[in-house]
Every structure is written in C-alpha cells, then in structure tokens.
Amino acid sequence: MLRLLCLCCCLWLLSACQSRPAAHSAANLYLQTIDNLADAEQLPPYSTLYQSYLQSPAVEKTALAWQQWQQKVDGKNCRQLDWQQGQKDNFWTLAFYRQAIRCFSEQADNNNNELKHWHAYLNYLRTGLLQTGHGRTAYAAFQINMYQDAHDLVQLLGMQVLDYYAELSSSNNALHYVLQVYDSSDQKFKAIYFENQRYLHALDQIPFPFTGLVDGWGRQMQPEYAKTNSMLLLPLAMLQQQAGQSEQAASLYQQGISEGSHQAAVKLAELCYQASLELKKSQCHQWLLAAADDDYVPALQFLLFLHQSGRLGAVDKGNIKEQLQLINQLAGAGQAELQLSRYYFGNKFGKSDPAQGDFWLKAAAAAGMQDAKAFYLLSQLEQHPEKTTELSQQLKPLAEQGNSVAAYLYASQLIQQQPVSPSAAAEAEQYLLQASQNWHPEALFLLAYGYEEGVFGAPQPQLALQYYQQAAERFFSRAMLRLGTLYRDGIKVPKNSELANRWFMLCSKQGNSACAFNAALMFDDGDGVPQNYQTAANFYQYAAAQGYAPAKNRLALLYLFGKGLKEDSNKALQLFAEAAAAGSHSANYYLGLLYFEGKVVPRDFAKAKLYFEQAGQHPNAIRYLQNWQQMTGQPDKP
C-alpha cells in the first residue's frame, strides 16, 4: 500500500505552489454542490461535476486533505470522526467511502440510512470513473486523481492486483499507471491503465494536455524522486535507455526488482537482450524466471519469444506449444500469439521481421482474437494496396460483430472512396460512432473530419470540434494539427494564436513534421507569439530532417538572411533545390528570384524563367512571367 500511496504524494509535492486566482464561474457548480451535499441521486452528471471541480480551488487541497484525513483515522474510534466534513474534503477519493462503509457497518447500532448514503456516493463515483474509459489501453485509460483511486477501483471490480508501475507514452508526454491484475469475473490476467493528467494539469494551472511541451515528465523524473517513489523507477529507466545510458537503466530496474516489481524484471531482461551490459544475461534470466514462476504474464510472454526465436538455443516445438497454451489459458485466447507478433514487428532485438509478425497475427486471429483479425487485415492492406477492395470487405463482418478496430478501419476505407455515396457515408458514420465508444483516437478523428467536411450530411462544425478535441487529448497528431490550424486561423472557433502554437508544439513531439513546420512558422512570423528566429530554425530543422519540403524552403530563407542561424548562402541554395525537387512552389520561386537578381548566384535569366515556370500558381512568379519581356528585355517565348 505504501507504494500505492507515494505517487500521489510525490506528484503533489512536485506541483508548483502557485496562488490560484478567484474561482472561475465554471467552478461554481462544484462549489455549490459540495457546500450543500444532497442525496447522490440528485448530483449533477459525474463528468460535468468533475470538470467543474478541476477548475475550482479545491483541486490544490485534495492530496493534502487525504493525508490529513488518514492521520485522523489512524488509531481512533471511527464514529468520532466528522464524516460530513471529511466527505467535503475527500469527495473524489474512493478509499474514503470504503472507510465510511466499513466504519458504519462495524457498529452494532449501524444506521441503514447512513450506509445507504455512503454506498450511493461510492456507486456514483465508481460508475462515473468507469464512464471515462475501459482501461484496456493507454488511450482509453480510466481518469483518476490519485493512484490510490486506481487500486480501490480494481478492488471494487473484483480484481486482484499482481504488480503496478508507471509507464510513459506518447513521446513521453503522457504518464500512465498500469496495474497487472487477475480479473475474477472472467478468470483472466490483464493490464488496466489509469491516468490522472487532468488533475495534475489543474494543480499546475496548465491547460490539458500541454505538460509535455517542456518534456515535463522527463524533467520531473529525476533520480531523487525515484528514490522515494518506486513507481517512477521504470519510466525513469526507460528515459535512461532512450538516452543510451543502458547501465544506469539496468541499475534502476534492479532497484525495482529489489522492491518486488515483476515488470522491472521483464524490462531488465529485455534490456539484457538489446544492449551490451556488465550484467550477465544469466542474472537477468533468473529474475525473469522468478517472475514467470508467479505466472506473471508479461514474463511468460517474453520467455516465449526468447524460446521461439531461438535465443535460448534449439527451438523445442513441444515446449513452445505448452507455453502458448499456458499464456492463453491465463490471459485469453490469442494473447500469446498477439504479443509474439508485436515482438517481431518491433525492432528492439535486431531487425523487425514483418513475415513472422504476420504469421503470429494470423495465428492469434485463428485462435479467435477479433482485434488480431483486424490488425492482420490492416497489415495486408499496407502490404497489398492493390487488394484494398477485397481486404476491406473482409473487415465488414468483423465490424458487424462489434469489433471497434475493424469498425474504424472499414469506415476509413469507405470515406476514402471518391465520391462517397450517401449510403457509404451513413455506414461509415455508424461504424465510427461504434468505434468511438472504445475511445479509438483514429475513429474520433475521422468522425471530426466527416462532420467538418459534411461527409455525413450537412457540416456540423461544433460536433467536429468536439471530436477533434477528444482525439487530440489522446495525442493523435493529425487531430492536434487540425486543432492548431483552426485556432490559428479562427476557423469555427475564436482565433487563439497561443493555443494554436501549443497544439503545434505538442504535436511536433509526436513526430509530425507538418506540426513542427507550423510551430516554426508562427515563431518565424511572430504570429501571436514573440518572434524568435532561433526557435523557428529548430522546428524547421526538425521537419526538414524528415524531408518536409515547406520546412526546407523556410529554413533556406533563414540561412539566406542569417536569421537565427549563421548566414550561409550555399546551404540556402542546397535547401531550396531539395525543396523545389520535392515540389515546393515557393522554393522554385525563390530559386528563380535568386537567378533573376544575380546577387547570390550569377545572373541566369534562362534558369530564372525555368524555376518561375515550375513555381505553379505562385503569384510573384506569375507576375515575373507576365512581365518577362519588359523586365529583362528578352522575349517571353523562345
């Protein structure tokens, strides 16, 4: 339990001690509700009340209030406590209501009305939490305040916690809590995801989800915090791995193992097969076996990969079959094969092997895993675009059976048809709405696109904005790019350059070159943000390195004029040429202008004209061509 409680305390202490402004009007609902607590049945909808709470001053007091309540509970007669005030201070904490129920149930003169009150509030919170996600993936994580809430929720759901750890995702912009559990309802082992980023953002008064702008998680996860919070050992170790500090990462994993973390044993074993360490593989293997002996599924899955890939010697097909059966018995049909496919599609242990990945995806599908069937068809679509129609039709039966992955994949194929018939549009909307119930960011984005562009009928801009927001909050880069564009240009929303820039910057960290270009453009032009050529150059360079032609063009201009970078006309010419070859009309125009003026390169009207002609509809290029004879004294035609 100590490990469970320390994360919320650590992150609360990390939060900036800022003076919060007067409560926003949106917070009034929560403040009024908490001051006059009614029966749970009369409370506002959970999501509405929670959003109001996040904008209230109560947020910054939540973690401290829970610590103080725990001190009051310890060693005292629980009936002597002020439960009414305690509820106001700890409204969102599941553990508080479980304490209340236990206290009032233990009394000989227990009051049934009191117990009904606490049960009703506990049910209100539990039902509300379960509406925030399904916990099966990072993008559909349950939304909580403190990690203790996660522990209590899985217990209320009848699950037994086997291991727990923090995990970074979305290019280190998001932190999730992962509980490896045994679910008594279906007698299976599984991972359940939680996140409390909205709460942490409210603490720091930073709009969600922008904490990653300054690499907040990586910056905050310093060794001193991990020393007092074992939950942070694994993500800190992963950051060390990404920085090439394998020995330091191994040391952190060993510390996690010493504190009882099975997941640390799995991650250390993976590291041992990826990097050259002073640590012997045999040591890593022993820790991995110890976790596997406890039927810890991730450990069994990695052992299966090591055996099946021949990394532990000759492949014993009988042994492989037994391991497959054991994992699928513990975790569900096809889970072993699905994880094998992930190992082969990845490149952690050498080159990726798509053929083996497809083989095990197909095996997982054959075992009855619906998602694996959809992923296999997606793999085939990517490899055989000429079979798009045939493969898309195979997705439809899966979508009809309720598979959300197949639903959004099939819908995306329908939307890509040109033109989209009314019947196809209606079918696509139906399947996307189905997939959105599982919080698939791709489905949310496609719904937004369809509502914005009028694919499903008349355009519905507000509905489009709602779905773009949901997809962007789940770190889907195309949704972030679109939101940034909408706010920058004031399309369908009030113009907000600061918010636009934040979306572009966050999206850049997802590896989206178009976002990096747009972020750079705003700094370059001073569009709603302070003009900063050096920052613009950094973002242009990132996008240009990925081959993004517009970024190469604008970076060339910075080199040409020495803005934010040392002036370098040769580098500018090289970048202009690369961008022009990639189809940039602006780059062709600037090359034409340079040859026309003859200041940076020798004047060459023939080359200048050629580049102007390749600049397409660039207005300045057209102006030069229309006035060619007058400006050069040469005929406009050869």
Q: Within 13 Å of residue 386, how many CA atoms lie on the same side as its CB?
A: 0
> What is the rounded distance in angstroms from the CA atom of residue 540 to the CA atom of residue 121?
52
CA 580 to chain centre: 34
pLDDT > 70 fraction of the chain, expressed in percent and rounded: 93
Nearest to 120 by CA among 105, 144, 146, 101: 101
- Angle of helix 94-106 relative to helix 62-73, nearest 10 degrees? 20
Q: Within 13 Å of residue 21, how many CA atoms lie on the same side as its CB?
A: 5
Ramachandran sector of residue 77 (left: φ over 0; alpha: ψ -120 to 50; beta: rest): beta
- pLDDT value of position 16: 36
DSSP states along 410-464: HHHHHHHSSSPPHHHHHHHHHHHHHHHTTT-HHHHHHHHHHHHHTTTSS--HHHH
DSSP-H helix ranges across 178-280: 197-204, 216-220, 223-228, 233-242, 246-258, 262-272
Peptide bond into 209 cis (omega under 30): yes
Q: How far is CA 291 from CA 215, 264, 327, 525, in A?
A: 32, 10, 14, 55
How many residues are listed for the chain in this entry?
A: 638
Span 363-413, pLDDT tens digits: 999 998 988 999 998 888 888 888 888 888 889 999 999 899 899 999 998
> What is the rounded distance in angstroms from the CA atom of residue 200 to the CA atom of residue 174?
11
Residue 550, token pair as written in the block: 């517009």
pTM: 0.89
Span 40-95, pLDDT tens digits: 999 999 999 999 999 999 999 999 999 999 888 876 678 888 999 999 999 999 99
Residue 150, token pair as written in the block: 């996660």
- pLDDT value of position 629: 87
- pLDDT value of position 106: 74
Most distant pair of Cα atoms in the chain: their distance: 107
Residue 523, token pair as written in the block: 């700094």
> What is the rounded distance in angstroms from the CA atom of residue 465 to the CA atom of residue 114?
44
The owner of tokens 């291991």 is: 163
Span 277-315, pLDDT tens digits: 877 888 899 999 999 999 999 999 999 999 999 999 899
Q: 481 exposed, middle or buried (CB, 10 Å; 0-12, 13-18, 19+)?
A: buried
Residue 43, token pair as written in the block: 């409370």
Average pLDDT, stretch 434-448?
A: 94
Whether residue 455 has pLDDT greater than 70? yes
- pLDDT value of position 212: 62
Nearest to 149 by CA among 169, 135, 168, 167: 135
Phi and psi torsions of 157, nearest 5°: -85, 5
Average pLDDT, stretch 554-574?
A: 95
What mean pLDDT is reported for the chain? Answer: 89
CB contact at 8 A, 526 and 501: no
Average pLDDT, stretch 519-540?
A: 94
- pLDDT value of position 509: 87
> What is the rounded distance in angstroms from the CA atom of residue 485 to the CA atom of residue 504?
8
Q: 16 exposed, middle or buried (CB, 10 Å; 0-12, 13-18, 19+)?
A: exposed
Return the domain boundaries, the chain. 1-162+190-208
> What is the rounded distance in angstroms from the CA atom of residue 522 to the CA atom of residue 532?
9
- pLDDT value of position 458: 94
- Which one-letter DSSP state was computed for residue 476? -
Whether residue 13 has pLDDT greater than 60? no
- Which one-letter DSSP state was computed for residue 539? H
Q: Are strands 174-183 and 188-195 parallel, antiparallel or unpaired?
A: antiparallel
- pLDDT value of position 75: 64
> What is the rounded distance in angstroms from the CA atom of residue 76 to the CA atom of residue 624?
87
Phi and psi torsions of 445, nearest 5°: -65, -45
Q: What is the CA radius of gyration of the chain?
A: 29
pLDDT > 90 fraction of the chain, expressed in percent and rounded: 69
- pLDDT value of position 348: 85
- pLDDT value of position 601: 92
- pLDDT value of position 19: 41
> What is the rounded distance in angstroms from the CA atom of residue 262 to the CA atom of residue 428?
43
Nearest to 191 by CA among 155, 137, 244: 137
DSSP states along 134-162: -SSSGGGPEE-SSHHHHHHHHHHTTEEEE
Q: Quick check: helix, strand or coil at residue 336? A: helix
CA torsion sign for 198, 201, 205, 209 is negative
pLDDT higher for 511 or 5?
Answer: 511
- pLDDT value of position 21: 46
